[in-house]
Amino acid sequence: MLPFLDLIYLGAMMSANIMLQHPQEFTFPPQREAITAVKLHREWWRDEGKGKCYFTGVMVPFVRDWPQTVKHGGGNETVLPPEPDKTAGHAFLSTQKFCQGKPMEKIFRAGFIYRVKPEGQSAKQFPAYDMLAEKPENYPNWLAQVVSRVERVALTDPAAKEFMDVSVEQFEKAFPNRIKTREAAEAGAASRPASDSSPPVLVPPLTLAESPQVKEVESHN
Comparing 58 with 195, which gets the higher pLDDT? 58
The arithmetic mean of pLDDT across residues 74-92, rounded, is 91
Q: Which of 153, 79, 146 is nearest to 108 (CA)?
A: 146
Q: Of the spans 3-12, 142-151, 192-201, 210-219, which averages the highest pLDDT? A: 142-151
Strands 53-64 and 36-40: antiparallel
Q: Which of 37, 5, 10 is nearest to 24 (CA)?
A: 37
Q: How far is Cα 193 from Cα 111, in angstroms, rounded to an integer?
A: 43
Model-wide pTM > 0.95: no
Tens of pLDDT, residues 138-174: 999 999 999 999 999 999 999 999 999 999 999 999 9
Paired with 77 in beta bridges are: 71
Which strands sit side by side in the sheet containing 105-114, from one edge to the other?
Answer: 18-21, 125-130, 105-114, 83-99, 53-64, 36-40
How does the average pLDDT of the chain come out, rounded? 77
Q: Is the pLDDT of residue 218 over 80?
A: no
Strands 68-71 and 215-218: parallel
Q: Is the pLDDT of residue 82 over 60?
A: yes
Residue type (1 letter), 187: A
For residue 149, report the phi and psi dihedrals to the nearest 5 degrees: -65, -40
Q: Is the pLDDT of residue 103 over 70?
A: yes
